[in-house]
Amino acid sequence: MIGEAFLSVSSIFQKRSRHEVMYQLYITGIKSLGVITVVALFTGMILALQTGLELRRFGQEVNIGTAVTVVMLREMGPFMTGLIIAASVGSAIAAQMGTMTVSEEIAALEVMSINPVRFLVMPRLIALMVMMPILTVYTNILGALGGAIVGSTQLGVAFTAYFDNATLYATNKDLYVGLCKAVLFGVIITTVACHQGFSAKQGAVGVGQATRKTVIISFLTILTVGYMVTRLFYQ
Amino acid sequence: MRNSRAKEISMEVTVGAFMFMVLLVLAVFTIVLSTQNIFKEYYEFEVIFQEVMGIRPGDNVLVRGVEVGKVKGLHLEEDGVHVITSLESNIRLRKDYKIEILPSSVLGGKILVVYEGEDAEYLPENKPVYGAKPVDLIDEASHVIAEIRTALDEGGILENLEVTMKQFKEVTGNLSQGKGTLGKLLTDDAVYNDIKGISKNLKTVSQKLVGGEGTLAKLLNDGEVYDDLKNVMDNLSTVSQRVADGKGTLARLLAEDDTLYINLVDASEAIKDITTTINKGEGTLGKLAKDDELYVEVTKLLSEVRATVDDFRETAPITTFTSIFFGAF
């Protein structure tokens, strides 16, 4: 299904497909900004507080900038974004696809010789593959900002010291490995959600099951793949 | 239809603006994290090491303690490990340069430190630059610990330490019991009282000195003493000047001219001869000194002279009268 979706990427230049991709980008990116903002900001704040309190015992609280930034770039940024998108967008895709399946709309599309994968899966796949790294960058920025707020207000680390320290050990490798993970997570969420949606049976109960399974499988796969990518790049 | 189109355009603009902003931030992030200014010129500098102790690309390069660049890469070749650095400023090495890899902290990490050297002569541009063997803190610490252990085991340090501690314990015991001079100093109040008395006396003396009592105080306070001393010194100066000028007997005695000395030697030899002669009893003085007969004779003579004088004294009035009496005739 995913291979077929990739093969039909060329149809993105058709007007209808372009509009659908843009709509999915809007749903995935702009509509998720609220929840992502809150989650990213507080993730950074929690990281800074927990790390900073421990580092303060050794008089090294100034290093929270490094700790928060590196952790956000390498792991927490793509991971938190993946979880949020899996829970919000992934579940929505599964619900939509499931409803369409149980109400035989998918079958109707096939009858009309419209490829459901190209028509439904491809725009969502493109939207998630593009928007996941974009949202991850946004999460990283807000996470680092949250850490800076906690550092400044609770740990006595000035903003300039925090950001000087933040860029001291973080590298482009950390940033781009994180973004690669985000792209992979986008593919995983779309695949799982569309697969579960297309596999939905038994009416509304089946749609609910598909939604629940999408979230669970996406979470587990994100965790597993996240570890594998980290293992691949940081040996 | 128009509303739908406007909504669609609005959605596209929102998504586009959001993506543009995030991509812009990503670009800034990339530049910041690469810690390289794309508008700045960087100089490549290569150093050959035999051992690099795990230095990695991205580690800092310091010149005279200032961070001037980063390690860009390293590759293994037959003549050693070539470490390529990217520096913000070009450095010129002198003949006595030194480049070494040091630990950046106790917890780990490495830095490449460059000492340009102080020699007057610069290193030729194309000459390969070699780095010193890096110092491994853990290795050094292990070595030191091994040496300490060997010294403890084989050098008898523990035994010596035990004996020393025993002796120290004994000494402190004696001190606490007031044994020995030091013990008495610590325990006996008499010493304190003596010191107190001495300080009291010193205080009295100093008060007297300040008050101008006694010779020492006068020496310290009275200007007359100073004047006297100055006069003495002036006189001594005059005397020494006269001696230096060769004036007076003393000056002549000290003068380089040996005449007086020779005369004195001659005179002393003559005196020596005379005294020798006298000792031998030769001559009049010798006989006077040595011959008792002459003494007896002289004594006898003196007795006779005395008797004669006495006789003359007794007969003098009669003689005088007689002469006066007969003188008239």
* pLDDT tens-digit readout, B167-179: 999 888 888 887 8
Closest partner residue to B22 (CB to CB) among A138, A167, A175 is A138
- Return the residue matching tokens 């000194």: B289
Residue B275 lies in a domain: no
Asked if residue B24 belongs to a domain, the reply is yes
CB-based contact A134 B11, cutoff 8 Å: no
Q: Which residues of A touch B26 (CB under 8 A)?
A: 137, 175
Mean pLDDT of B124-153: 81
Which residues, including other chains, have CB under 8 Å from residue A110's CB and lie 6 or more apart?
A116
Contact call for A30 and B14, based on CB within 8 A? yes
Average pLDDT across chain B, whole number = 82
Shared domain check, B51 and B26: no
Considering the domain architecture, whether residues B134 and B62 belong to the same structural domain is answered as yes
Domain count, chain B: 2
The rounded distance, in Å, linking the Cα atoms of A80 and A72 is 9
Contacts of A140 in chain B (CB under 8 A): 29
Report the residue from A26, A171, A175 with minimal CB separation from B14.
A26
Share above pLDDT 70 across residues of chain B, in percent, rounded to a whole number: 95
Which position has the higher pLDDT, B291 or A25?
A: A25
Out of A22, A30, A172, the one facing B18 most closely (by C-beta) is: A30
Determine, yes or no, domain membership for B93: yes
pLDDT of B38 reads: 66
Is the pLDDT reported for residue B164 higher than 80? Answer: yes
Tens digit of each residue's pLDDT (9 = 90 or more) over B211-236 = 877 777 777 777 777 788 888 889 99
DSSP annotation string for A60-113? -GGGHHHHHHHHIIIIIHHHHHHHHHIIIIIHHHHHHHHHHHHTTHHHHHHHTT
pLDDT at B35: 65
Q: Are residues B52 and B29 in the same domain?
A: no
Is residue B29 assigned to a domain?
A: yes
Give, in degrees to the nearest 5, the angle at Cα A85 between A81 and A91: 155
Residues of chain A with pLDDT under 50: none
Q: What is the pLDDT of residue B224?
A: 79
Q: Is residue B12 part of a domain?
A: yes
User: Looking at the domain assignment, is residue B290 inside a domain?
Assistant: no
Q: If you compute the radius of gyration of chain B from its CA atoms, what whole number of angstroms results?
A: 56
Q: What is the pLDDT of residue A136?
A: 94
* Domain residue ranges in chain A: 14-226
* pLDDT for B328: 61
pLDDT at residue A93, as a whole number: 93
* Cα(A190)–Cα(A196) distance, integer angstroms: 10
Summarised one tens digit per residue, pLDDT across range B18-54 is: 888 888 888 887 877 776 666 778 888 889 998 888 8
User: What per-residue string of b and e applies to B281-291 under the rule 16 or more CB within 10 Å gives b?
Assistant: eeeeebeebee
* Domain-embedded: residue B190: no
B50-88 per-position pLDDT tens digit: 888 888 887 889 988 888 888 888 889 888 899 999 888
**What range defines the domain where residue B110 resides?**
43-138
In a domain, B282, yes or no: no
Test the B interface: residue of A60, A137, A163, A180 with most B CBs within 10 Å: A137
The pLDDT assigned to B329 comes to 58
- Of the candidates B138, B153, B187, which is a domain's last residue? B138
Query: Final residue of a domain: which of B72, B104, B138?
Result: B138
According to the model, what pLDDT value does residue A89 have? 92
Instruction: Quote the pLDDT of residue A57.
Output: 84
Domain boundary residue among B138, B169, B192?
Answer: B138
Q: Are B52 and B76 in a shared domain?
A: yes
